[in-house]
Amino acid sequence: VQELLHIDRTTIYRMLKDGRLLGVKVGHQWRFPAHEVNDLLSGAIRVKQSERPYSVDILPLHCLQPIQDVFAEIAEVGAVTVDENGQPLTRIFNSGDFCKLIYESKQGYKACRQSWQKLVQQTNSSQKYFSCHAGLQYTSADIEIKGQRVAYFIVGQFLENSPEPEKFAESVQTLSYKYHIDPSKLLEASQGIPIHDNHRVTKINQWIERVSQTFGQISTERADLTSRLQQISEISIVNI
């Protein structure tokens, strides 16, 4: 490769590091796909690996689900991981009876999806908290792979303050009519909605950031491994 490109070994390593050249180390030797070298000789500009878009398919959901579930139980919140459209990627976990009744309604579940979508599409990073269509509080954190947002970890289904009984009962009744839910069942279930004070909410926000970072690290490692296997496959095909 040095002879073909008329550059020294140090430059080769620099090109590998900044993404201008794709290669994989097998044992103590480097291997380079022929098309990579040909592209450089022809003057083609290669997109850096870090600039390639990642999709939600790269997420190891079988690993993220149990971590999400343990967090939800410990923090006493409902939790779900969604894509940019508010579509759940993991199973919704630790929902209270109130939210379960709403999920059972087709219109209610659709409203929840819309709330999640609105939450993840907030561009102002200072707006971490969000009140859903049912009046419950949520917060979210980005899951990133090499600086690219791939998914969002959402937790919530709690209240920050004890609501006024009469007003709260009226809002619950409105929801029951809107989503065709038995009013008495929904009102009874609403009594079990957890209330977290400001201190607890601050802690939850700190915890969710750490968990989402862990999700990102796990996903990045998988993305790197997948990329490495693809490189080895390309080189193997060229050699064959």
pLDDT digits (tens, 9 = 90+) for 1-16: 888 888 888 888 888 8
**Model confidence band, residue 50 (pLDDT cutoffs 50, 70, 90):** very low
pLDDT for 25: 79
- Cβ atoms 173, 141 nearer than 8 A: no
The average confidence (pLDDT) of the chain is 87
Mean pLDDT of 210-227: 90
Mean pLDDT of 127-154: 89
Q: What is the pTM of this model?
A: 0.75
pLDDT for 229: 77
Mean pLDDT of 92-104: 96
**Model confidence band, residue 136 (pLDDT cutoffs 50, 70, 90):** very high
pLDDT for 29: 83
- Cβ atoms 145, 220 nearer than 8 A: yes
By the 10 Å C-beta count (0-12 exposed, 13-18 middle, 19+ buried), 181 is classed as: buried
pLDDT for 40: 81
Supply 148's token pair: 């690219």
Residue 166, pLDDT > 90, answer yes
> What is the number of H-type helices and E-type strands within the chain?
9, 6
pLDDT for 240: 45
Mean pLDDT of 72-97: 94
Supply 2's token pair: 């040095």
